[in-house]
Amino acid sequence: MREIIFDTETTGLESKVDRIIEIGGIELFNNFPTGRTLHIYINPGDRKVHPDALAVHGITDEFLKDKKRFADVANEIIEFFDGAKWIAHNATFDMGFINAEFERIGLPPVPTEHVVDTLSMARRKHPMGPNSLDALCRRYGIDNTHRTKHGALLDSELLAEVYIEMTGGRQAALGLVGVESSTTVVEMDDHVAGISRRQRPLAPRFTETEQEAHQQMLAGLGDKAMWNRYETKSPDAKARAS
């Protein structure tokens, strides 16, 4: 399943009048990052960045004045998200702005069934909270010390790690180890690469003489030796060591 973890930064809080000035996205396929990202700064036209918003993300009107307008980058955004779930933290806010921008240029809104809100997910999973992105990073041991300001791509990267943790993706990945035969498929652009992993028994690396010498050494350590907590002996090995 293909998913896009994304975030937006805006000129203010009102989707009907304020505008998107930055969008960032991270592509996941079956809960694994593919390496594909989207990051675009957008000129909001006549709408100026509100001082309160500036304090949050630090993106100035001066910085944005030579950037493309939303209508000029809409196709790039649509192509990146095409066929994927739209996943955001407090998605109601981000999708309100996305759909308002689409409406301005005559495009249909994103269907609600294509949207996943990780804030709602977090509130169900951790009802006692807190469930801000920073709080979830602390909960899951994700380093966010470099997040001094909000940024669409940086926040998407952090949210992708949080989302993988919340959906058990990392544990699922670890579950591949030790499986008799498994195939992981990663989709990148227009090609699909399949990676097969198969277990096979390895031949012993030590001779019988070396193994016997090792067991004799263990026997000399006594029953209380720390090694005995970790060493698993076969019946033959125990017999040789006794």
User: Which residues are annotated as catalytic?
Assistant: 150
* DSSP of 96-135: HHHHHHHHHTT-PPPPGGGEEEHHHHHHHH-TT---SHHH
Measured CA to CA in angstroms, residue 164 lies from 3, 6, 114, 176 at distances of 11, 14, 18, 16
CA atoms of 206 and 174, how far apart (whole Å): 29
CA atoms of 227 and 86, how far apart (whole Å): 51
Residue 177 DSSP SS3: coil
- Contact between 162 and 142 (Cβ < 8 Å): yes
CA atoms of 45 and 72, how far apart (whole Å): 12
- Alpha helix ranges (H) inside the chain: 51-57, 61-64, 70-81, 91-104, 118-125, 133-139, 152-166, 169-174, 208-221, 235-241
CA atoms of 112 and 104, how far apart (whole Å): 19
